[in-house]
């Protein structure tokens, strides 16, 4: 059972007791992502995520790593377009130590100039690595086509130009604006020992927002159709095609996930079977859905040799045309619903999965549905709800990005 406690300063603590395990996962979720950055700040949310691991006023970066290694624990973080999460997984009796270290990183990071300079080079290498991988880069440039004038279209990692400007003052200014009590959820799941929740409230329940704190505002950006081609000396051409879709709070969300599964979400999907299995046009072909608080996208990706690119695009077009004109079959829909239920339940096997689910549910939705409730909602997906999404999504003009040889 998921319990929510709201501290007097507005920080929310979400806990789920799981008695049959001996582990514990805890995460600090912050409603701060790359879409809330100004153009000159592009990439700073991700850079801050890195910097919180680079030492506090009492612990060096090495000491943080050694303390978790010594107890056999794991510590990590990630940044998305809408939120950031710092998390740890440890044995249950190390829960208080884990949250103490996370709190030290969160509140007391030193942001020393030499560490900033060193980590700047690390992130620069991360940017270069992403650009060197065309199967990653094609998705990045696709977003720049979809939302050319909005922060959603800018890379989470930032650019070499913006990265070069970051310093301790910019970091503290950004954190003062976004790392505020109202924007923070502490999610903990596993065998929660007595006193841990009290400890979390002591550490996070009393700090006050800065006078610079800003309210997070959605932009509801308009999707832009268009095409971009990036010439690269590669063996294959990489293509990504995206259509405007629905936000994460849309009541058709489960129908959207089911539709994605049918089109290209797994090995039995239409795209995988028709493009790869029947015609051998590509090794990699799949689709995925991206949903944010206000907007979303449905994306198809594939890679093929230069001589197969036209045939590949033609087959993708044919597959989508068949869906628009004929819809999905009853068998496809029932299979997709069972796949959804299976992946959802199997995905909750570990404490980290529960921590992630509860954290994002509280941060984004403010509600926590039971497993049975989710399964019932999946069962209510109908042919009509899927057909309505096909009409809404696949008839729109897409954005297209291609990376490959001239």
> Strands across the sheet with 184-190, in order?
2-6, 12-17, 184-190, 23-30, 84-91, 74-79
Q: Are strands 296-305 and 285-291 parallel, antiparallel or unpaired?
A: antiparallel
Among 219, 243, 403, smallest CA distance to 317 is for: 243
> C-alpha distances in angstroms, 195 versus 93, 95, 199, 202, 247?
11, 10, 6, 11, 38
Under DSSP, is residue 244 helix (H, G, I), strand (E, B) or coil? strand
Q: Give the helix/strand (H/E) hosting 134.
A: helix 134-146
Provide the phi-psi class of 2: left if phi over 0, else alpha when psi is between -120 and 50, else beta: beta
CB 190 within 8 A of CB 21: yes
φ, ψ (nearest 5 deg) of residue 60? -80, 170
Residues noted as catalytic: 49
CB 30 within 8 A of CB 87: no
Tokens standing for 95?
A: 């829960």
CB 57 within 8 A of CB 106: no
- C-alpha dihedral sign at 260, 261, 264, 269: negative
């Amino acid at each position: 059972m998921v319990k929510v406690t709201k501290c007097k300063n507005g920080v929310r603590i979400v806990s789920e007791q799981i008695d049959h395990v001996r582990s514990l996962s805890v995460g600090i979720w912050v409603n701060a992502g790359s879409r809330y950055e100004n153009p000159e700040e592009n990439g700073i949310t991700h850079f801050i995520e890195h910097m919180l691991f680079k030492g506090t006023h009492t612990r060096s970066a090495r000491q943080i790593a050694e303390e978790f290694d010594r107890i056999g624990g794991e510590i990590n973080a990630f940044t998305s377009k809408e939120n950031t999460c710092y998390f740890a997984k440890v044995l249950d009796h190390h829960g208080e130590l884990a949250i103490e270290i996370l709190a030290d990183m969160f509140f007391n990071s030193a942001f020393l100039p030499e560490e900033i300079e060193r980590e700047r080079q690390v992130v620069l290498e991360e940017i270069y690595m992403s650009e060197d991988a065309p199967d990653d880069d094609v998705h990045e440039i696709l977003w720049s086509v979809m939302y050319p004038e909005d922060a959603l279209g800018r890379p989470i990692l930032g650019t070499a130009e913006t990265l070069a400007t970051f310093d301790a003052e910019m970091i503290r200014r950004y954190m003062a604006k976004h790392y505020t009590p109202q924007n923070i959820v502490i999610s903990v799941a596993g065998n929660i020992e007595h006193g841990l929740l009290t400890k979390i409230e002591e550490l996070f329940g009393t700090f006050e927002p800065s006078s610079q704190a800003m309210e997070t505002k959605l932009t509801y950006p308009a999707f832009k159709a268009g095409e971009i081609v990036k010439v690269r000396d590669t063996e294959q051409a990489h293509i990504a095609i995206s259509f405007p879709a629905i936000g994460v709070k849309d009541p058709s969300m489960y129908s959207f996930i089911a539709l994605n599964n049918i089109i290209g979400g797994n090995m039995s999907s239409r795209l995988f079977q028709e493009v790869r299995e029947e015609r051998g046009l590509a090794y990699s072909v799949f689709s995925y859905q991206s949903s944010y608080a206000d907007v979303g996208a449905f994306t198809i990706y594939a890679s093929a040799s230069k001589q197969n690119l036209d045939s590949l695009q033609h087959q993708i077009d044919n597959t989508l045309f068949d869906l628009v004109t004929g819809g999905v079959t009853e068998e496809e829909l029932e299979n997709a619903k069972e796949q959804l239920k299976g992946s959802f339940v199997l995905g909750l096997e570990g404490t980290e999965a529960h921590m992630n689910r509860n954290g994002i549910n509280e941060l984004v939705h403010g509600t926590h549905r039971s497993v049975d409730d989710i399964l019932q909602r999946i069962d209510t997906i109908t042919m009509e709800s899927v057909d309505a999404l096909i009409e809404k999504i696949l008839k729109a003009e897409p954005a297209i990005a291609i990376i490959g040889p001239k």
